[in-house]
A and B are shown apart, each in its own frame.
Chain A
Amino acid sequence: DQQVKQNSPSLSVQEGRISILNCDYTNSMFDYFLWYKKYPAEGPTFLISISSIKDKNEDGRFTVFLNKSAKHLSLHIVPSQPGDSAVYFCAALRGSQGNLIFGKGTKLSVKP
């Protein structure tokens, strides 16, 4: 059973607009959430994270929102740029366990 779900396999957005990537999880024991970005033939690159005690974390154009009651998080990219086109993975972990639990990813395409 998938503990981390990204229900949209793909998303297309116009350059300059907002991209919103969504992620749902089932395990209430997760205490940290991360977003990774992956280009073809490269490993995932860490983007931004959020602790379960927070509801928002911002880093430049990237903001992650966490809604614990809904077990939902989202990544906002504003403004979107063509270089943001990649696969975005949502991941979660428990502080006592090292391994990340990943969603299946969402492929973002930003059109010029």
Chain B
Amino acid sequence: GAGVSQSPSNKVTEKGKDVELRCDPISGHTALYWYRQSLGQGLEFLIYFQGNSAPDKSGLPSDRFSAERTGGSVSTLTIQRTQQEDSAVYLCASSLGGRTFSNQPQHFGDGTRLSIL
């Protein structure tokens, strides 16, 4: 498809389990971003990739969170030993990337709704 694709769309898991979320960006977009939106909150930045490298991991809330990107395309966000406060919608976005971001809107997927029981 032409847009950002995320899977699964919904994930319910038990506390303590590991989860893996997938993002397939728009073809040709070199920049990829992960955000999350908790109930009643705005979008919170997690991590950004330019190509396969992650120059900015400042938003990852704990060392239980990690992300990788291979081949400059698909990215996975992994949450280990999930906690109830990890429940949120996890959104991925992509943009053309490059040296400056100002004129390159980020395009979002529909997100993965993660529920930790």
Residue ranges of A at the interface with B (Cβ–Cβ < 8 Å): 4, 6, 31-32, 34, 36, 41-46, 49, 51, 89, 91, 93, 95-105
Determine the chain A residues whose CB is within 8 A of the CB of B93 once the complex forms.
43
Contact status A46-B105, CB under 8 Å: yes
Given A43-B91, A51-B102, do A104 and B48 touch, yes or no (CB 8 Å)?
no
Residue of A nearest to B110 (CB): A43
| Interchain Cβ contacts within 8 Å, total number | 66
User: For the complex, what is the distance from the CA of A46 to the CA of B4, rounded to whole Å?
Assistant: 13
Let me know if A34 and B105 touch, CB within 8 A: yes
The reply to whether B43 and A89 contact each other, CB–CB distance below 8 Å, is yes
Measured CB to CB, the residues of B under 8 A from A are: 4, 31, 33, 35, 40-45, 48, 50, 56, 59, 91, 93, 95, 97, 100-103, 105-111
- In the complex, A48→B91 CA distance in Å? 20
Contacting residues, chain B, for A45 (C-beta < 8 A): 108
* Chain A residues within an 8 Å CB radius of B41: 104
Q: In the complex the two chains form, is A98's CB within 8 Å of B91's CB?
A: no
What would 15 more interface pairs be, CB under 8 Å, given A32-B102, A32-B103, A44-B108?
A: A4-B42, A31-B102, A43-B108, A46-B107, A51-B103, A89-B42, A89-B43, A93-B101, A95-B102, A98-B50, A98-B95, A99-B33, A99-B45, A100-B35, A104-B41
